[in-house]
Amino acid sequence: MAASSPGHIELERSLDSIQIGKRHRTDLGDLDSLMESIEREGLLQPITVTPDGVLVCGRRRLEALRRLGRRTTNVWVRSGITDRLSQLLAEQNDNALHKPLSLIEAESLYRELKVVVAEDAARRQEASRFGSAVREGRDSAGVSGAVDSTAPRSAGEARVQAARMVTGRGSQTMLEQIGRLKDLANDDSRPDHIHVQAAEELARIEAGGKVHGAHLRMNAALSLDELDRIAADPAQSELVRTQAAASAAQVRGAGAADTRATELAALAADAIARVTAENRAKTKRSALKPARPALSSVVLPPRAFVALWADMQGWTARYDADNIATSLTAVEWEQAETVLAETIAFFTRIRDARNQADASPQPAAADVRTA
């Protein structure tokens, strides 16, 4: 006969009929001590399943029973626990009481839980707006009160609540950073070296490494990849490409010198900010700058040319080259070099024309006779 208690009934069920379903735990840990305990004292706490036979709590106990050769076991069949949110909360409760999840496993549970919590809160708010009753059977799951009283009002609040459910503290930033590493490791649009580094950082975390350090190193790698892309982009100006290549070399040099992750990430981020800001500024200036009139439309007489260069005579003595070198922005220096190139080209044309004139045969002088 099946025993009953508030919220569940207890009965015997075959192990093969229990569906594991989607679980976030991937490492069951050492089961030997658990198997010894079951052999010696029996199963002290039955496995929990839904009315449909889907496992809620007891993944390690189920596996231990299978390894012991058991075919059946007593289970608790919980009513009101068929929706996904309740199953996730029950799974986390089971993990907290037995073998904790690793950080990588915790992120998988957090990733799904934050979405489900937000969706659940949205449904409740919608139902409340129209005066509907809370969905039947929620209270029997033993979790509705806690969720109802703290229903998140935004995605940010859902992240905070999900993190506290999984780890017991506000660890959403850490879990989001782990999730980003997972996404990068599986993002086909990224270069192979980005996949490899993301996977390596996840392995370091699994081995006990710091999540924030892995996050900073990954940020530096992404910034370096972006600098390389800009440096190789023919659509960028030569100045921007040169700046990007120089910045990438600086970041690589800092990485080779074993610079701290915080400083390396900051250096890479600053380099990207400078290059992209320069690129945006140049694009904006090109859009706003009126087209320069053709030189043929403003033709000055030779005497104006002579006066211009008379005024320019000795101009280099009025400036300090070192001071200019450190004071000019990249754009100002590029403009000066453009004017210099135009000046050299113009003087070349004048020189060629003068040389050609000197090489041409001179006409005979006119015979001037007095009357």
**pLDDT per position as a tens digit, 29-39:** 778 888 888 88
Q: Where does the chain have alpha helices with state H? A: 32-41, 59-67, 84-97, 103-129, 144-149, 155-167, 172-185, 192-206, 211-231, 238-256, 261-288, 302-312, 321-327, 330-359
Q: Over pLDDT 90: what percentage of the chain?
A: 9
**Cβ atoms 17, 85 nearer than 8 A:** no
Q: Identify the architecture of domain 3-167 in CATH.
A: Alpha-Beta Complex (3.90)
**pLDDT per position as a tens digit, 55-71:** 877 788 888 888 988 88
Report the relative pairing of strands 47-49 and 8-14 from DSSP bridges: unpaired
Confidence (pLDDT) at 295: 42
Confidence (pLDDT) at 201: 92
Residue ranges of domains in the chain:
3-167, 191-288, 306-349
Average model confidence (pLDDT) across the chain: 75
Total-model pTM: 0.49
Residues of the chain with pLDDT under 70: 1-11, 21-27, 44, 78-100, 120-121, 123-153, 278-298, 361-371
Confidence (pLDDT) at 198: 92
Confidence (pLDDT) at 1: 40
